[in-house]
Structure 1
Amino acid sequence: MWRTWCTAFGWFAVLLCVCVGGVVWLAQPTPAQPASAALPFFDTGDFAGSGTCEACHNGLVDEAGTPVGIPDDWRATMMANSARDPLWQARVSVEVSRTLAISPTIEATCARCHTPMASAQAAVSGETVALLGDGFLNPDHPLHAAALDGVSCTLCHQIISDTFAAPGDGNFVIDTGTSPPDRLLYGPFDNVLADPMRQMVGFTPVLGEQMEDAALCGTCHNLTTTTVRADGTPTGHQFPEQRTYDEWEASAFGDGVGDDDQSCQACHMPPAEGSVPLASIPNDLPPRAPFHRHTFTGANVFMLRILRDHADTLGVPASVEQMNRAITESLGFLQSETAHLHVQTALVSDTLVLTVTVQNLTGHKFPSGYPSRRAWLHVVVSDTTGAPIFESGAPLPDGRIAGNDADQNAAQFEPHYTLITDTTQVQVYESIMQDADGNVTYTLLRAATYAKDNRLLPRGFDKANAPAEIGVYGAAQSDTDFVGGSDRVVYRLPGNGDALYQVRVALLYQTLAAPFADDVLATETPQSAAWRALYETADRQPVVIAEARGVAARYQTWLPLAVSP
C-alpha cells in the first residue's frame, strides 16, 4: 500500500502517517525537484527504488549546518547514474557490435555492476539479462526503472558478507530468500529503530560490519575480462581491466600493517561534521557518528558536467544545484586528496635542470579504474619577458596532448621517461592495452595485457613483487625513481643565455584520453551516435590537480618552487 501511494504521487511533497506503538510521525515536505530529478518508486520483489528511501533519509544536517541528506548526496553521483552514463552505453554497444558472437556475455557482464538491481532480479526470476535492444535500457522493459536507478540504496545495503571471499566481477551476494518485512538491510550502526522501515518499505535494518569493509567496493571495482578474437573465440588470456581494490590491498592503506589503514569508504564517503541522526523521521532519533556522506566523491568531473548539462535528455535524477555541488566537491577532492608536486630547479652553466617529483596520495594507483584515464606533466619554461622557450605536455582544445605519440597515432604510445630533454617528450601516467599479438588496442575484449602501465603507485606498493594483475609495465618497471608513493623525472634543458627563467609545472588529469574517445566513435551504433553529440560539445580540458611556479636563477642551485593546488 505504501509503495502504491508513493508511486501515485511521485515526487510531490510527501506526508507520512505511520502509527507505531501509538506514536505518529509526520514528515516535512521534501524539496521540490524538476521532473527529470525525481527519484523512482518501484518494487521488483527484492529491491525498492531510491525514491522509497527519500522521505525519511533526506532533510539531514550535520553539526556545521551542512545538508547531508543521503538521497540528495547520492543522486548526483556516478553511482546513481551508472546506467545513464552515455559513454558507458556507447562503449557497451561498440564492444557488442565488434564481437556479436558473444554479445549476451558482454551485456550480462556489464549489467552486473552498472544495472545491478535489474541484473540480480532477472537472475532470480530466470529472465534473460540484456541491456541493448529489448533489454534493460529499453523503457518498455519491466526492469527498466530498476536498471536506471543504478547502484542504489537497496542494492548496496543488502550485500551480505559472504560476498567477500574473492571480491570482483560483480560477484556480490543478495539474500533473495526472505520476504517483507524480514528482508535485511545492513548498515554501520546497531540498535537502530526498525519498525518504521519494516512497515513502510518491508526491510529490517540491522548492523552489518561489511558496510565499512573495502571489499564491499571491490565487488565491482575489480574486473577481469576474457580476451577474445573478432569471431568471439577466446585467446586463452584473462585481462585485468581494472584492479582498484587489489591495488588498495597492496598499498600501505590496505595491507593491514601499522596505523595507516584506510578503507575506500573513508576517502570516498567523507564524514559529516559531528553526529547526525540517521533519518529525519521520526524527528527525535539520537545522532550517530561517524556519519559518512553518500557523495561517493571521485575524479570523474568530466562526466558529471555532461550529466548536468544534459540532465533532461539523460533523465538525471538531480537538480543543477545538486550536480554543481557534486562537481565542486569532486574538483576539491582531486586537488587536495590525489597528488602533490615537488619541483626543484638548478641553472648550471647554461643548462636548466628541473627535478619534478609527483607524490600519489591515494590508496591505489593514480589514475585508477577504467583504463581511459590519464594524468600528465605540463612543463613551461619562459624567459624574463614571459616568452616560452620550452613546453612539454600542452593540453589542446580537442582533448589531445601536444607531443603525445598515442594522440597522433593510435598504434603507438608515449613511453615512460626518467629524463626529458625535448618538447616532443611528455610524461604521461596511464595504462595502454595491447592484444594477444602485441598490438595496441582500445577494444576492451581484445586486450590481453598492458604494453605500458606507469600509473603512480600508492604508498607501500612493492612493484618488484606485485602480482601481474596489478604490475608495472614498460620502462617504469626498471626506473629506480618510480616507486611506491612517488615518481621523479628530470628535465634537462638548454638555456638561452639568460640568468633567470620562469618555470611552471602542472599535473593534469583527464577522464577520457583522446584515443579512447576516437575508438568509441569509430563504430557507428545508436548509442555511439548519441555519445558523439554530447562529446562534441563537451569541455575536454583537463583538470589541474597541482601546480608549481617559480624561477630558476643562476648562482642559486636547487631552488624549490611554490606549490599551489
Structure 2
Amino acid sequence: MRHHIGAFGLCLCLLPFAATARDDALPLPSSLPLLDYQSQLYPFIAGRAFAAQGWTRDKRWRDTGPFVMGTSYGIHPAVRIYYSPEVIAWLEGGRLGTVPDGAMVVKEMATPPAARYITYREMLEYLHPDDPEAVEAEMLDFLRKDGGLNWTVMVKDSAVSYGGWFFASVDASAKVDDFAPPFAPASGQAGDGMCMRCHASAAEELVFSALDNVEGYPGEPLNFRVDETWRNMTDQPPGRMNLPIQQRPARGQSEAALIEDYFHNDNAFDKSNAEAGGDPVRRPTANPDFVRTFPPVDGIAVEASAVHPMPSQWLDHVPSRPDGPQHFLTSDNCLGCHGGLGGAPSGIAMFLQTGPDYGEGYDISEYSEWRWSPMGLAGRDPVFFAQLESEFALLEKAGTGDLSDALGTTCLSCHGAMGQRQLQIDAKASPEAGLDPNAFKLDYMALHAPLTKAEEARQKAEGTFDYHQYGNLAREGVSCAVCHHIAPPERAEGQPDYNTLDTYLMNGTTGRFRMTEADRLIGPYSDVRTTPMEHAMGITPVQDDYIKDSELCGACHTINLPNVDADTAVPLDGYTEADQKVFNQAAGNGANFLKDSYGVTYPEGLTDFQHSVEQATYLEWVNSSYSEDATAQSCQDCHMKSDFRSADGTVSLDGITTQIATIQDTTLPEVANLLPQDEVNVPMRDGYRRHSFVGLNVFMVEMMRQFRTEMGLAQTQPMTYATNGAQLSIDTMAQQAREETADIGLSLSTGGDGIVADVTVTNLTGHRLPSGVGFRRAFLELRALDGAGKTLWCSGCTDGAGVIVDGDQMQLSTEFLDQQPEGAETPLFQPHHRVVTSQDQVQIYEELTRNAEGAFTTSFVHRVSHPKDNRLLPHGALTPGTPAFAAKFGESEVTSAFMKATLPEGGAVEDPDFTAGSDRIEYRIPLGAGIDPTDVTVTATLYSQAIPPYYLKQRFETAPEGPATRRLYYLASHLQTEGTLIEDWKLATGSATAKLP
C-alpha cells in the first residue's frame, strides 16, 4: 500500500509500528526492520484485532471538519478512534507525563461525513432492537462496503525518534510497502514529517485525543457543519440516506464537481502518479549519433536491467534521534510543513493554482523546488559518481590508489554533505561504535535501512550495517539541514589576524563549514512559531542573517584541491611561491579543523601536494561588481527567485506572498488540546524566496527526469500531488538561460569576399560564464543562411551528439583534445579567437587543464597547468596587483592569491576585446559567386554544454568497467533530447539575428 498525504499532510505516515505491553502485544517498531514490522502490524490493524480485544473507542463516528457541498474540509475523513489501555490511562491522568511505549491510537476511518454512519446505525438499531451483535456485524459490513474502511495508526516507541511515535496508514488489504517504481512515500514511518505537520501542534505528546470523545466519559465531541449532499446513496431505499435531488443542496452537485476528496484517498495519489507517466518513457534504442560518437567498446554498454539503480528517495529517511536531535535529518522530516498545499479543500500555500483540481498548478514550496534542483539531486547525480570512478582509476594507475578514500570523502563533503559530516560527528561522539569516518565509501550511497531481518543479516555480514543511515543522509545531497546549519568560518588559534574575507578563504572553503548547534536551524525571520518544530524534532528555528549571505554558498562553491602528480617543489603554473603557500596553508587549516573538531585524519595525505582552486564561483562573485554595495546582487538574489514567470506566460508575479509553513493552526478545523494560538498561527510572508537553486545544468535534471526508475526518484509530490516538479526546474533554467545568462550583439558589414559579422557576448551573470566545474563550456555558433534557409557557412555547428563539426559535417580535430601532431608540445585545442575566418575555428569559452604529462584532463586532482581559460568574466572583475584591486581588497596576499583563480589564462589575456563582462569577436564569412550578401541572414547563438562530448569520452575511457560509468553511458546514450531544451546535446542561451540593409 502507498501512503498519500495531499491536503493536510495527514497522518498517513512512513516506517514500522508497535503495540501495547501486554501478552498479546505486537513488538515495538524499533525491534524489527520496517517490512517485517509492517507484516505484523498491518494484519493486526486490517483484521481489527484491537476491536476484538475490547479497546475503548469513541462515542460515535465523528467528523474532523465541515462537510459542505459534497466536500469534506476535515483533516481526516470520518473517524472513530480506538485507544489502547495505556492511552486511556494517560488521558484519565490528565494528559500528564509521557505515553508509555507500546501504546496505540488507531484511527478507524471511512468516507465522510460521519452522519451517514450515525444514520445507518440508527436504522440498524431500529431493525434489530434486541440484537446488538447483528447491529455491529451489519454496521461493519456497511463500513467495509460503502465506507472504504481504512486506518491511520500511532504507535508509541520512544526509541524510534525524538517525537517517539511511529505513524502508519493501513488499508483493507494490509499490503506492506514495496518501494518499487514509480515510487511513493512509505505507508509507515517513524517520526513522519507529514504526520508531524499537524501533530506537532498538540499541547502534549503529539496527541490531540480528549476524553470528551471517548465512550463512557462525560462530554461531547466537537461538532462541525454537515449539509445534506451526502444523502445520495442510490443503493439505499428512498428515505434519509437517499433523498431526491430536489432536496439536496445545489441539486446534488459537489463543489468543483466539486472537489475530489484527496485527504486519505490512495487512489488519488496513484492517479497523479499515473498521469505523470508512471514508469518513465525512454528511447527503445540508443541514440545513433551518440553511439557513433562513443562506440560501446570495453563492455561499457549494458542493458537496462544491468544498470546500477539508486534506492527509492522514500528510503532516505533519518528522523530526529530520541535522546535529542543530531545535526542532520532527511528532508522528509521537513516536507509536511514546507511542502505546500495545492488548493481546495486544503487551502493554498507555497503553490500557484491554475485550475480547479487539487495540485493543478505550480508547486513552489521549499521542499518541491529543492527536490528537483541540482542541490537536491547532488547525492544521486550520475555524472558525479562516474567522475569519482575516473578519479579512483587514475589514482590506481599512478600508484596512489591509497588516496582514493581521502579524495572520495572530500568530494562527498558537499555532494553527500549530511551523511559524510554526520558520520564524522557520530564517530567522535561514540568511539566504542567502531565507525570509520575517514573513508566515506561510494558503496554507502546505495545503502538504506534494512527492510527485513534477512537484509539486516546481509548488511551485517558485509560490514555495512552501521553505515546505512549515512547513506540515507548522503543521497539527499545538499539538503535542508545543510544550509540551515552553516555558521560563519572562524580563525583557529595561532592564525594571523585575518580580515573577514581572508578568514573565509583560509578556513571556510571545500565543504569544511562550521555549524550551528544540532538543536538550532537558522532562517531569515525572527517572528517564527518555534514550538511545533521543537515538539516534532527537538529543534528550534532561529533568525540569523547569515542564511542570506553569499559567503554561506561559498562553503561548497570554492573548492581548493590537491594536484597529485605535480612537482611538490615547484609552484603550479601561474602562481608564485607565496601564492602556493597560501593555497597549501588553507588546505592544512581545513585538515586541522576537521581533526580538531571530529578527530578525522583523511585530509592529511592530501595536504602533501600542491593545491589550487578547482572551482571558484563564489570568488568570481566577490571579484565582481555584484559584490559591491552600489550594485549588489547576492547568490540568493539570482538563485532563490522572489518572482515567478510560467513558461507559457499565463502566470506572471513580480513578488510572492505566502505562508512558508503549513501546520495545524486556527485556520484549520478545531481540535482539542491544541497549543495556544500564538504558538501555532503562521503569518503570511512577503518577499518569499523560492528554493529553485538552478543554473544551466538542464542535462542532469532532464536525465534524472527521464530515468526516474534508475535514479530512484518519485514524480509526484506527496503534499500537493503536483507532478511537474522536474519540468518546473527545467522551465526555471530555461528562463535563466534566456533572460539572465548572456546578451548577444550582432552587426554586419561587407568586407573581403563576403560578410563581416561583429559579435559581442555580454555576461549577465554574477560570476564567470560558464562557472563551476572546469569541464563546462559555452560556445558561439555563427550561422549564415541564404534566402531559402540553407546553411552557407557555420562556425560552431554540431551533430546530434553535441560534437562541433566543420562545414563538411566532420568533427573538428580539436573536439576531443586527444590529437597531438608530431613535434607539438600539446594536443590540439581551440585557442581563444579574436578573428574567426574558417568553419573549423570556433569561439569556445572554457577552462582547459593539463596533467603533469601534458595531456588534457578533466580530473579534479591532476590540474597542473592551464593553457586556456577564456570563460567570460563578470562585470567589475579586477586584476590582483592593480590599484583598483588594492582599493577594493587591500594588500592581502591571501586575497591576491585566491583571486588569481578568477582571471583568464592563455590567449584571452592578450585580447583587448576580452574585458570584464564581455568579449568581441569578428567573423569573416566568405560567400560564393552569385550570392547576394543582402539575401543572407546571419544568426549568432551562445550554447551551453554542462557535460560536453570530450568530458563524456574521458569518463567512458578512463573507467569503462565501473558501475557508475556504465550507468552514465546507458543514461546518456538513451537520453531523449529531441524536442527538449537540450536538443542536439546543447542548451541555447542568448541569440541575435541580422541582415545587411
TM-score, scaled to structure 2: 0.52
Paired position in structure 2 for 1:95? 391
Q: Once the 2 structures are TM-superposed, how far is the Cα of residue 503 of structure 1 from its aligned partner? A: 1.0
Separation of aligned partners in 2, 1:307 and 1:275: 31
Question: Which residue number corresponds to residue 770 of structure 2?
Answer: 367
What are the equivalent positions in structure 2 for 1:451-462 lying under 5 Å apart?
451-462=867-878
Residue 207 in 1 paired to residue 642 in 2?
no
Distance in 2 between residues matched to 1:3 and 1:315, nearest whole Å = 28
Equivalence for 2:486: 159
Cα distance change on mapping 1:396 and 1:478 into 2, 3 Å: same
> Aligned pair count?
545
**Larger relative helix fraction:** 2
Contact 1:131 1:137 in 2 (8 A): no
CA distance in 1, matches of 2:532, 2:403: 46
1:42 and 2:474 matched: no
1:451 Cα offset (Å): 1.6
Q: CA deviation at 1:335?
A: 1.2
Three-state SS of the structure 2 residue aligned to 1:536 is helix
Q: CA, structure 1 residues 294+129, in 2 after alignment: closer, same or farther (shift >3 Å)?
A: farther
CA shift digits 1:169-223 (9 cap, x unpaired): 00111245x5xxxx11100111211100100121101001110000111000111
Is residue 424 of structure 1 aligned with residue 840 of structure 2?
yes
1:508-519 matches, cutoff 5 A: 508-519=943-954
Does structure 1 retain, via aligned residues, the 8 Å contact 2:763–2:875? yes
Moved more, 285-294 or 262-271: 285-294
| Structure 2 residue aligned with 1:475 | 907
Identity among equivalent positions (%) equals 28
Partner deviation per Cα, 1:141-178 (whole Å, 9 max, x = no partner): 321111111111112111122367333100111245x5
Residue in 1 that maps onto 2:528: 192
Does the Cα contact within 8 Å between 1:341 and 1:546 map onto a contact in 2?
yes
Equivalent position of 1:530 in the other structure: 967
> Deviation per CA, 1:232-289, whole angstroms, max 9, x where unpaired?
99895323211000000001001x242x111111101101533221211135421123
The one of 537, 540, 544 equivalent to 2:988 is 544
* Compared CA separation, residues 463 and 344, structure 1 to 2 (3 A): farther
What displacement does 1:20 show?
5.1
Q: Is the 8 A contact 1:160 1:173 kept in 2?
A: yes
The amino acid of 1:543's aligned partner reads L
* 1:317-369 deviation line (CA, Å, top 9, x unaligned): 54452111111111111111111111000124643110000010000001100
Range moving further from structure 2, 484-493 or 62-71:
62-71
**1:502 and 2:940 equivalent?**
no
Aligned AA (1:337): E
The alpha-carbon distance between structure 1 residues 318 and 263, as it changes in their structure 2 partners (threshold 3 A), is farther
Match of 1:561 in 2: none
Q: Distance in 2 between matches of 1:385 and 1:278?
A: 54
User: Which SS does the other structure have where 2:385 is aligned?
Assistant: helix
Q: Which residue of 2 aligns with 1:249?
A: 622
Q: Deviations over 1:467-507 (max 9, x none)?
A: 32222011101111101111000012223352412211111
Change beyond 3 A, Cα 1:277–1:118: same
Residues 300-449 of structure 1 aligned to structure 2 (within 5 Å): 300-319=697-716, 321-348=724-751, 350-403=753-806, 404-410=812-818, 411-449=827-865
* Equivalent residue, structure 2, for 1:130: 439
Quote the offset at 1:115 in angstroms.
0.7
Q: Conserved in 1, the CA contact under 8 Å of 2:850 and 2:856?
A: yes
**Amino acid in structure 2 at the alignment position of 1:397:** G
Tell me which residue corresponds to 1:239. 612
For residues 86-111 of structure 1, the C-alpha deviation after alignment (integer angstroms, 9 at most, x for no partner) is 11011111211221121111111111
CA apart distance, 1:437: 4.6
1:80 aligns with 2:488: no
Q: Is the 8 A contact 1:503 1:552 kept in 2?
A: no
Closer/same/farther in 2, CA of residues 445 and 20 from structure 1, 3 Å limit: same
The whole-number CA distance in structure 2 between the counterparts of 1:369 and 1:113 is: 13
Letter matched to residue 393 of structure 2 = S
- SS at 1:304's partner residue? helix
- 2:350 touches 2:660 (CA, 8 Å); kept in 1? no
The one-letter amino acid of 1:469's match is A
Q: Tell me, in whole angstroms, the C-alpha distance in 2 between the residues paired with 1:229 and 1:238.
A: 11
Quick one: distance in 2 between partners of 1:376 and 1:437? 27
Unaligned runs of 5+ in 2: 1-160, 170-184, 188-193, 210-261, 279-311, 342-348, 354-361, 396-400, 428-435, 449-458, 460-466, 491-502, 568-604, 644-654, 668-680, 717-722, 807-811, 819-826, 882-895, 978-983
SS at match of 2:684: coil
Partner Cα distance (1:98, 1:531) in 2: 18
- Tell me by how many angstroms 1:29 deviates: 4.9
The range that moved more, 331-340 or 203-212, is 331-340
SS at match of 2:535: helix
**Is the contact between residue 459 and residue 484 of structure 1 (CA under 8 Å) also seen in structure 2?**
yes
CA distance in 1, matches of 2:202, 2:529: 11
Inter-partner Cα distance in structure 2 for 1:349 and 1:450: 35
1:557 is aligned to none
The answer to whether the 8 Å contact 1:335/1:545 transfers is yes
Q: Does 1:271 align with 2:637?
A: no
Whether 1:285 and 2:667 are equivalent positions in the alignment is no
Which structure would you say has the larger Rg? 2
C-alpha distance 239-54 of structure 1, shift in aligned 2 (>3 A): same
Q: Which structure 1 segments of 5+ residues have no match? A: 554-565
* Contact 2:200/2:533, CA 8 A, preserved across alignment: no
State whether residues 566 and 852 of structure 2, in contact with CA within 8 Å, keep that contact through their aligned partners in structure 1: no
Structure 2 partner of 1:490: 922
Question: Structure 1 stretch 62-71 or stretch 123-132: which is displaced more?
Answer: 62-71
**Aligned residue in 2 for 1:563:** none
Deviates more, 1:165-174 or 1:262-271: 165-174
User: C-alpha separation between the residues in 1 aligned to 2:707 and 2:167?
Assistant: 25
Q: Equivalents in 1 of 2:764, 2:829: separation in Å?
A: 26
> Partners in 2 of 1:291 and 1:188 — Cα distance?
11
Deviation, 1:393, is 0.5
1:427-473 deviations in Å (ceiling 9; x for gaps): 00111011235432222221123221101111111257573222201
Q: Which residue of 1 aligns with 2:576?
A: none
- Work out the CA distance in 1 between the residues paired with 2:636 and 2:828: 37
Distance 1:331 1:412, change over 3 A: same
Alignment partners' CA distance in 2, 1:195 and 1:288: 19
Q: Give me the whole-angstrom Cα distance separating, in 1, the residues matched to 2:790 and 2:951.
A: 34
Q: 1:559 maps to which residue?
A: none
Tell me the amino acid that sits aligned with residue 846 of structure 2.
E
Q: Cα RMSD (Å) of the superposition?
A: 2.8
Amino acid in structure 2 at the alignment position of 1:280: T
More displaced 10-residue stretch of structure 1: 429-438 or 260-269:
429-438
* Distance of aligned partners of 1:218 and 1:38 in 2 relative to their CA distance in 1, 3 Å threshold: same
Q: Which amino acid aligns with 1:42?
A: V
